[in-house]
Amino acid sequence: MTLLAQYYVPGLHVEDHAIDVPLDWSGKQPGEGFDGESIRLFYRVVTAPEHVHDDLPLLVFLQGGPGGEGPRPLSPSSDGWIEEAVKHFRVVLPDQRGTGRSNRVDGTVMRRIGDPAAQAAYLKHFLADSIVKDFEHLRRTVFCGRQWVTLGQSYGGFLTLTYLSFFPEGVTASFTCGGIPHVPANATEVYEHTFPRMARKTAQFYERYPQDAERAAAVADILAAGDVTLPNGDQLTVERFQMLGSDFGMKPSFERVHWILDQAFLDGDGSASKDSPLSEPFLASVAAATSSRPLYWPLQEFIYADGEMDEPIRWAAQRVRDTKPEFDPAARLLLFTGEAMFPWMFEKEAALRPFGPAMDLLMEDTSWGHIYDEDQLARNEVPLQSAVYFDDLYVDSGMQLDTLSRVGNSHYWTTNEFEHDGLHGSLVFKHLFDEALNRGDLEALY
């Protein structure tokens, strides 16, 4: 363990640390020494100032994504769950491998590797099987094998089931929020559920802001008629414009997209007009809202790859989209798309273009790391408390409940009060914690 820094942000004591982990976990075990190429795993330990010297239980946060870094709190309330968590835990915030300060992976790294086959092999080291082994190595070495509680948000729930599949002895209890995957995993099945929900979300958006249907159609007509360039030099296509809907599973996403469209047109009073140029503030806002996080889109469909597969993933979202003409860029009303990646992104977006050759290989790959053990999950003894958001855009609630019905010692709270990002408010984690505490699931800690 290396202590890099310690300091305070308002209301929190923070320590920055890093350790070495193997790039390739093949033939290696967490907690043991290893040879070969290593990468740095960065993590923070966050504590309430009044508990800095107290021996509190550990809670490790499994960040959403894929390709998502740990939170950078501005205060206890800036990410709502932290304010409650630091009352009871010493909170560990890792940057998953390839993100944040943990040996980032981006286009520069892909260009440095060069060979597409080597790029593809490298990217396969940044999925759940490796991420969970990193965390278990951290627990066994730095934290001396002490059990911890896991809290998984979104993709962090996928990681939770991987953790419970292979290292349940390391976990006292688990919480998940909007993140129970369907097991067995199937990317095509996921998008068959996602696109109908996106159509409903778009309809709800236009019901709330009827004027935006005309605005979105006018913008799409302008984009279809000629080249429009974003501030970073990328071409703004209708397909990229449709990706504003990626935010529709969060609050207040309808309002964010509404105000982006509100400033779309340069001339006159800003009313919809196919004859007006698009404004610079609008283009800057679209660029920011649709910008590509380095690992988020490249790994998006491969989080559903588990072991030896009968069929390759082969651009699952695009294949499903091709069966739904209502999402055609030429359709009016224009429908927005959700959390889905498409082949054109790796051709037209500068940040993703270096990943393109590797993506073509990975989309045909059928050999992946094993991420779930269904038999182990069925006999799971670690208390699992899940928040299932009934209207979740990204992770289908019915599929979550089906999986939970086959996971031992699992409990769930189903609600339509929150969207996918409910954990970031002040209520969800407290509700889950109180449920587990009152059931006796945290008896070993308190």
What CATH number did the domain enclosing 397 receive? 3.40.50.1820
Residues 398 and 276 placed together within one structural domain of the fold:
no
Q: How many Cα atoms are found within 13 Å in the side-chain-facing hemisphere of 70?
A: 22
Residues 320 and 222 placed together within one structural domain of the fold:
yes
Q: What is the pLDDT of residue 79?
A: 93
Residues 140 and 223 placed together within one structural domain of the fold:
no
Q: What is the pLDDT of residue 1?
A: 60
**Of 320, 341, 362, which one is at a domain's C-terminal end?**
362
DSSP assignment of 397-433 equals: HHHHHHHHTTSTTEEEEEESSS-TTGGGSSSHHHHHH
DSSP assignment of 287-348 equals: HHHT---TTHHHHTTGGG--SB-SS---SHHHHHHTT-GGG-TT-SSPPPP-S---TTHHHH
Please tell me what DSSP assigns to residue 64.
-
Burial of 117 from C-beta contacts in 10 A (0-12 / 13-18 / 19+):
exposed
- 257 SS3 class: helix
Cβ of 355: how many Cβ atoms within 10 Å?
Answer: 28
**Tokens, residue 328:** 């055609």
Cβ of 178: how many Cβ atoms within 10 Å?
Answer: 29
Residues 386 and 350 placed together within one structural domain of the fold:
no
Burial of 441 from C-beta contacts in 10 A (0-12 / 13-18 / 19+):
buried
Residues 193 and 311 placed together within one structural domain of the fold:
yes
What is d(CA 102, CA 21) in angstroms, rounded to the nearest whole number? Answer: 10
Identify whether the C-beta of residue 389 lies closer than 8 Å to the C-beta of residue 423.
no
Burial of 438 from C-beta contacts in 10 A (0-12 / 13-18 / 19+):
exposed
Residues 12 and 135 placed together within one structural domain of the fold:
yes
Tally of domains within the chain: 2
What is d(CA 241, CA 72) in angstroms, rounded to the nearest whole number? Answer: 29
Whether 445 maps to a domain, the answer reads no
Terminal-to-terminal C-alpha distance of the chain: 28
Residues 62 and 210 placed together within one structural domain of the fold:
no
Residue labelled with tokens 């408390």: 385
Task: Report, in angstroms and rounded to the nearest whole number, the Rg of the chain calculated over CA atoms.
Answer: 22
Residue pLDDT tens, the chain, 446 long: 689 999 999 999 999 999 999 999 999 999 999 999 999 999 999 999 999 999 999 999 999 999 999 999 999 999 999 999 999 999 999 999 999 999 999 999 999 999 999 999 999 999 999 999 999 999 999 999 999 999 999 999 999 999 999 999 999 999 999 999 999 999 999 999 999 999 999 999 999 999 999 999 999 999 999 889 999 999 999 999 999 999 999 989 999 999 999 999 999 998 999 899 999 999 999 999 998 788 999 999 999 999 999 999 999 999 999 999 999 999 999 999 989 999 999 999 999 999 999 999 999 999 999 999 999 999 999 999 999 999 999 999 999 999 999 999 999 999 999 999 999 999 999 999 999 999 999 999 98
Strand intervals (E) in 238-296: none
3-state secondary structure 215-231: HHHHHHHHHHHCCCECC
Whether 26 maps to a domain, the answer reads yes
Whether 270 maps to a domain, the answer reads yes
Residues 328 and 403 placed together within one structural domain of the fold:
no
Residues 215 and 147 placed together within one structural domain of the fold:
no
By residue range, what is the domain housing residue 81?
Answer: 2-185+371-439
Q: What is the pLDDT of residue 188?
A: 97
**Of 362, 395, 423, which one is at a domain's C-terminal end?**
362
Residues 6+ apart with CB under 8 A from 433: 84, 85, 88, 175, 442
**Of 302, 335, 362, which one is at a domain's C-terminal end?**
362
Residues 85 and 180 placed together within one structural domain of the fold:
yes
Whether 288 maps to a domain, the answer reads yes
Whether 103 maps to a domain, the answer reads yes
Residues 193 and 245 placed together within one structural domain of the fold:
yes
Residues 139 and 82 placed together within one structural domain of the fold:
yes
- 254 SS3 class: helix
Q: What is the pLDDT of residue 270?
A: 87
How many helices (DSSP H) and strands (DSSP E) are in the chain? 17, 9
Q: What is the pLDDT of residue 292?
A: 75
Whether 444 maps to a domain, the answer reads no
Whether 135 maps to a domain, the answer reads yes
Whether 446 maps to a domain, the answer reads no
This prediction has a pTM of 0.97
